[in-house]
Amino acid sequence: MTENTETKVQELGPGRISFGTFLLKILAGAAGGIAGSLILVVIFVLASSILTPITGAQEGDIIQVSPIFTFILMMMIFLSSTVGNIMSTWLMALTERGKYTRIASAISQVFILSMIIFVLMVPVYFITSATNVNITAYAVALHIIISAQVSALILEIVSNYRYALVGVYGITFSVLTSAGIMFGLAGIVKSPQILLFVALPIVWGSIAFVQSIFTILYGWIARTYDKDFLSTQTVYGSDYGKEVEVEEEPETPKAKDEEGANFLRHN
């Protein structure tokens, strides 16, 4: 095998993930989710009397609640999910600094999109709480899962453009896994409080675990078959043969050094 071929094989697929990094990434995702859950616990304790309808509701009950309940529930989920998403994104990025190079930009976009998702979810909360408080639990689960999925996707796309598709596939499988775990627990655990508190750690732990497994498997497949199937530089179908355009970032304009220019003019 020639040196050029070895270099090519090494470049195929995303970077290898060591076992230590794999464990750290899972811990980082779960830790960020736990941080969000702690915010959830604090708000829940402070407003427990108002939040009784959703925690004390029995299956089959139709309970209408006040707008104050809906507002506090919305703020509780928004604050906890935003903190959990930002912490998980940051901690997971720290486990692979060579891969995630634009952490600050990713976190900024996570915060902005968390605000947008919150605004879009406001009517959903009010409609479900006015209809049946039990349905509101599904709105909460939807909010948590979507915001976590989007946050993880932002981290992959902003910092790892070439293998953003690997992130899309891995995170999609992760969300399906976490949703399956949550629905499975809902059939076993009858306490809504427990499901509410463990939602963020489960979702982010699943994202870190499943995405890492998928990345490892895809890297092995790409290197084994010598084909980078999910690279954004790989084209298929009618796009085959077209040149892939890579946009170059424009240079940041520099301020003119007027003092230096005047010095050179007069000397």
Q: Is the pLDDT of residue 68 over 60?
A: yes
* Neighbouring C-beta atoms of residue 174, cutoff 10 Å: 27
Least confident of 36-50, 63-77, 115-129, 214-228: 63-77
Least confident of 56-65, 92-101, 191-200: 56-65
Average pLDDT, the chain: 78
pTM: 0.76
Average pLDDT over residues 112-123: 92
Domain contains 248? no
Q: How many domains does the chain have?
A: 1
Average pLDDT over residues 9-29: 80
The burial class, CB within 10 Å (0-12 / 13-18 / 19+), for 106 is buried
**Is the CB of residue 204 less than 8 Å from the CB of residue 33?**
yes
DSSP letter, residue 12: S
Domain contains 247? no
Average pLDDT over residues 121-141: 82
Domain contains 170? yes
Q: Is the pLDDT of residue 6 over 50?
A: no
Domain contains 255? no
Pick the most confident of 59-68, 140-149, 227-236, 242-251. 140-149
C-alpha 85/C-alpha 153 separation (Å) is 11
Report the residue count for the chain: 267
pLDDT band at 9 (very low <50, low <70, confident <90, very high): very low
Average pLDDT over residues 233-249: 55
Domain contains 68? yes
**Is the CB of residue 201 less than 8 Å from the CB of residue 41?**
no
C-alpha 143/C-alpha 148 separation (Å) is 9
Domain contains 262? no
Domain contains 215? yes
Domain contains 136? yes
C-alpha 117/C-alpha 216 separation (Å) is 31
Structural domain harbouring 62: 15-225
Least confident of 18-32, 103-117, 251-265: 251-265
Q: Is the pLDDT of residue 245 over 60?
A: no
pLDDT band at 38 (very low <50, low <70, confident <90, very high): very high
C-alpha 72/C-alpha 265 separation (Å) is 67
**Is the CB of residue 42 less than 8 Å from the CB of residue 71?**
no
Which pLDDT score is estimated for 53? 52
Average pLDDT over residues 42-68: 62
Pick the most confident of 102-116, 188-202, 211-225. 102-116
